Chains A and B, each alone.
Chain A
């Protein structure tokens, strides 16, 4: 998985505080961000000429060698993706090891993340975890602010779901939501695929869901204007809608997908969802080889339970994303199987797709570790540790599909530790890394 930066981010780059710059010699984030900006410029025709015009007046001689090194590589990277493009290293790498923020969360989060750490240690993955605990029972925001700072520092995080007690006062906002909006993790990506080893009613499902993650109904703006009348605001902005549509189409193109479906309710919410739909159409016109269609959300859910194979990539605002992603997760076998990722411009946070706390199954050794392990593989891909990612992912999928060692939620008898042991055994049998130890 890779981060797609949006266009037009120059003002934000200039305002990035200098203290966020790491003392790394390879590439300061300011330069990286600048390079992202130039990549966008490169993608437009006639951009090659403009590059020299932009570089020199702004930065003069400040960048020195980096300009010469990256300047040439950039011009030849017009059609390459950010994945291969440039020598841009992943965040927080020092001494060959990455540091990733780990937020255990509540419910099944801590035990699953412990298993992830166990598997990483066993496979000698060069990742160190910086654990930040967030206490959901507290009303103050100190804990979550620490977590946010840690993520800003490291750039990448793996988290369990933090419980939101809705009996608390409305001023105590959802911690997960706070994290997503502060870090501007605007795209939630979830890939639902039918696994051959899992019994489900529907077969051959392969849907990518891209959900706007920061605004919409989750803006948490509510007020009681008159006693007994509560208003909740749903905000849709043109910028965010364009951003998420752009992300969706680019991802569809990168992955070779044929169709993007926008899910909306514009027949009722004419202005709000109408704006979203308009932005999607605008972006779609720039990708003529990808089919674009739109569907009303109630029809979408009906189609999902009868014929889910018709969907390819789906893009939608926040609340419909919540519903559709949960329906799709249920269709492929449940919340324990699907990993999810939240991408922003600078940060990436990985978690399970349906964000369940799983309080009722916590500490009973019956939770399904698949979703969290696959999320950690997505994180390893993001950190460019592809070999480790592939080895762990293969081990997880082999255990799921061939060994058929299933936990209770997918109808099996295994415990979490048994599944993890099986995964580690498979990694040991396949990998050269651990067999010599």
Chain B
């Protein structure tokens, strides 16, 4: 292409992907590389056309779930996001053969739409069936749990400038649930690491790093003690690193990561790890930015399924009182938009949310204010509308 034609070509490409440029006559090298990267990469996740309406399965959940789900729906409407919601309920039902499963209409909806947004689900004690989260995980083979932890300006914690992502293997590892009583008083719990699962999660971690312009991936392990199991995990990570040379790969012991994380979290970027370490580290990182009430989370499954969720509890004590904080579910929904490629809308809603929290005028009780959930939602909607 001659002269400035390539600029317009790239500008159009960027516009299509929802990236806005401040000064269109000066295209930055980074933006060009984004576009080139977007052209080069394969896209295993389902991409949506920015012009079409995408249907997303919404699972409101229990407790404060319905309130925060409706808050998110309102904000999306205010932002004119091309999303159509299909509400479904998941309560465990016993299928033929006595096996517990989720209702077939929910399963069918998820399989069709591939993207889901989930509120908090109640885990019943002694109900005879496993937790709902576990059922969902098994049904859709949700193998990766992704938690981006970014410090929220306006919600003060002792840690500022946190910007990392924890990617946790979600199906095996220490949570395999295989336990035996060998003799009375001796219990053995089996930690399972398989080549296939490790390969899958390592691949996903590098792809995520590439798609989200992340500079490095760190594998967290304890191979000095668990030589074979974490050794296998590390080997697979190294192999995936070979295939993705543009992303820097490092390995770090779990204890060193914990030590450095509480002293200087800025040194970490993307962390990939097996199940148990991931559980603990992702909650540690959530604690750094302010807790589960403001942390988004996404679960990626096989066959392109992705369910984004809020990881806090159902908070039955404040359910129905319009006191809930929808930030976690909102940020998870923003993550969902980014996953679908709707970066423009994602940026708009995220900015609206962060600006509201930064202004500190209208905040829910857990963020330090005394406004209602509906007021908080309305404020964000107002900001989002003003941005257009």
Query: Which A residues contact B (CB, under 8 angstroms)?
Result: 164, 166, 168-170, 174, 177, 201-202, 217-218, 220, 222-224, 227-239, 265, 268-272, 275, 297-299, 301-306, 319-320, 322-323, 325-327, 329-331, 334-335, 354-356
**Given A228-B196, A235-B186, A298 contacting B279 (CB threshold 8 A):** yes
Complex CA distance for A327 and B280, rounded to whole angstroms: 11
**B232 to A230, Cβ gap below 8 A?**
yes
Count, chain B residues at interface, CB 8 A? 55
Which chain B residues border A218 with CB–CB below 8 Å? 225
Q: Which of chain B's residues 188-226 have a Cβ closer than 8 Å to chain A?
A: 188-196, 222-226
Complex CA distance for A180 and B223, rounded to whole angstroms: 18
B354 at the interface (CB under 8 A from A): no
B103 at the interface (CB under 8 A from A): no
**A302 to B227, Cβ gap below 8 A?**
no
**Given A224-B228, A327-B259, A237 contacting B185 (CB threshold 8 A):** yes
**Total number of A-B contacts with CB less than 8 angstroms?**
172
**B193 to A232, Cβ gap below 8 A?**
yes
**B195 to A229, Cβ gap below 8 A?**
yes
Q: Could you name 14 residue pairs across A and B whose Cβ atoms are closer than 8 Å?
A: A164-B224, A170-B227, A217-B174, A217-B225, A228-B232, A270-B179, A272-B187, A298-B282, A302-B283, A305-B262, A323-B258, A326-B255, A330-B259, A330-B262
Residue of B nearest to A165 (CB): B224
**A269 to B179, Cβ gap below 8 A?**
yes
9 pairs of A and B residues whose beta carbons are closest in the complex: A238-B185, A302-B287, A228-B195, A330-B262, A298-B283, A201-B158, A166-B223, A164-B224, A170-B227
A218 → B minimal CB distance (Å): 5
Q: Which of chain B's residues 103-162 have a Cβ closer than 8 Å to chain A?
A: 157-159
Complex CA distance for A123 and B149, rounded to whole angstroms: 50
B291 at the interface (CB under 8 A from A): yes
**B263 to A330, Cβ gap below 8 A?**
yes
Q: Which of chain B's residues 248-265 have a Cβ closer than 8 Å to chain A?
A: 254-256, 258-263
**A329 to B259, Cβ gap below 8 A?**
yes
B273 → A minimal CB distance (Å): 12
**Given A170-B231, A269-B174, A326-B255, A301 contacting B287 (CB threshold 8 A):** yes
Which chain B residues border A327 with CB–CB below 8 Å? 258-259, 261-262, 284
**Given A298-B283, A301-B287, A305-B159, A166 contacting B175 (CB threshold 8 A):** no
Which chain B residues border A224 with CB–CB below 8 Å? 228
Query: Which B residues contact A (CB, under 8 angstroms)?
Result: 157-159, 174-175, 177, 179-181, 184-196, 222-232, 234, 254-256, 258-263, 276, 279-284, 286-288, 291-292
Secondary structure type dominating chain A contacts: mixed
Complex CA distance for A270 and B229, rounded to whole angstroms: 22
Complex CA distance for A168 and B280, rounded to whole angstroms: 28
Which chain A residues border B279 with CB–CB below 8 Å? 298
**B229 to A230, Cβ gap below 8 A?**
yes
**A271 to B259, Cβ gap below 8 A?**
no
**B189 to A271, Cβ gap below 8 A?**
yes
A215 → B minimal CB distance (Å): 9
**B186 to A238, Cβ gap below 8 A?**
yes
**A235 to B192, Cβ gap below 8 A?**
no
Residue of B nearest to A270 (CB): B179
**A232 to B190, Cβ gap below 8 A?**
yes
**B189 to A233, Cβ gap below 8 A?**
yes
Residue of B nearest to A276 (CB): B187
A42 → B minimal CB distance (Å): 27
Which chain A residues border B254 with CB–CB below 8 Å? 322-323
**B284 to A305, Cβ gap below 8 A?**
yes
A190 → B minimal CB distance (Å): 12
Which chain A residues border B260 with CB–CB below 8 Å? 330
Residue of A nearest to B196 (CB): A228
Which chain B residues border A302 with CB–CB below 8 Å? 283-284, 286-287, 291-292
Residue of A nearest to B192 (CB): A231
**B188 to A306, Cβ gap below 8 A?**
no
Complex CA distance for A270 and B224, rounded to whole angstroms: 26
